[in-house]
Chain A
């Protein structure tokens, strides 16, 4: 599918282009703020959701090679909406249904792209939440082992043998996997119950 000219917004986020970021705020924040405030949110909620949605899009562009094949405005709006709906669900509030805009003119691909950003970023957040539950030693080993440094050098820096480092790294990752599986299971269970 052809890359949409609005891809320039993603490029602007990746290069931290002040003018592009300002354009995003100027053009798109009023609509999203209006929708969130209309749907039980506050000014602060709207600012948080807008900001964090942009970071999610940046992460997807940077780490997953996201390219825009649809206009940026409905895409950003849908990413924000998804995030806000999840947030109010967490707060135990009633699901919102009010809509001040019409997205029917946009294809399924816009919805799919926004959904993908939301799902991927939620997954990454879950991984890091669980990563923080690991003991300090495990975090240190994984942080050093997974960031491209030579394993022999890391073992030396930590004062352990290469064999021990490999074994410990494997144990730590296994523990992290167990945490993630349990948390994902809980999430699915609570979603099914709600």
Chain B
């Protein structure tokens, strides 16, 4: 393969090479299959990220439907499993081996709990209400990180955010795709006054477009409201689609800001 770096390949695709450089690379491309493969890889990589990095609400909704069907058509219907054994299996949450699925289910359970969460006091000059969040749905999920999440939720749900924080931090570092850990780390940071750090977490959660997207936007709004920045707070509320988790609480917060 010709001696091109990946950065040069990227610059070629992005049309950032000089005309001489471009001409030379095009000549090499005709005879160098490895170089052509690298160019094709970059195009594919860029296209895939562009398509799939934004939140896919359709996929999230479909996953929820699939989750419902799974319970109906798989749980408790294993071959040869009948009677009380089958009934007891049908009633409980199925432990999933595919980690992505598992996290989404955990996320959905948590988001559902968030929706029904209680409104309570926030000691601030601007706000006296916010949606209390409970970490739920992280039990009975297997080993390792989930045990960590269970411990974190025990602290989190009793308001011991300083104790929950290192556990959530550990869980997230062990698996940086764990949006549940990242979201609750952000909320815990907010409760402990580490507002800048909290915003960083919540911003990432919002951009990754998980089930926590609306909730992350709500807590971003709350962080600005708490600091008296009503304009930015409102701009974050505007990012929460109607009907999304967090929308109900956001409506209350908007009224308070006005």
Contact = CB atoms under 8 A, between A and B. Distances in A.
A144 interface: yes
Given A132-B177, A180-B45, A48 B66 contact: no
A130 to B, nearest CB: 9
26 contacts: A14-B58, A21-B62, A21-B69, A29-B73, A29-B74, A33-B74, A43-B74, A43-B75, A43-B78, A48-B96, A51-B67, A58-B58, A62-B56, A62-B59, A63-B48, A132-B176, A132-B177, A139-B204, A140-B203, A146-B49, A171-B7, A173-B46, A174-B10, A176-B45, A177-B6, A181-B41
B69 A25 contact: yes
Interface string A152-193: 000000000000000000110110111011000000000000
B97 interface: yes
A123 B45 CA distance: 9
Contacts of B72: 22, 25
A182 to B, nearest CB: 12
A173 B61 CA distance: 30
A111 interface: no
Interface residues of B, number: 51
Contacts, number: 134
A59 B58 CA distance: 10
Interface of A: 13-16, 18, 21-22, 25-26, 29, 33-34, 37, 42-48, 50-52, 54-55, 58-59, 62-63, 123-124, 127-128, 131-132, 136, 139-140, 142-144, 146-148, 170-171, 173-174, 176-178, 180-181
B234 to A, nearest CB: 17
B38 A177 contact: yes
Contacts of B177: 132
Given A25-B69, A58-B62, A143-B53, A44 B97 contact: yes
Contacts of B92: none
A13 B62 contact: yes
A56 to B, nearest CB: 11
Contact of B6 (A44, A55, A140, A174): A174
Contacts of B7: 170-171, 174
A132 B51 CA distance: 16
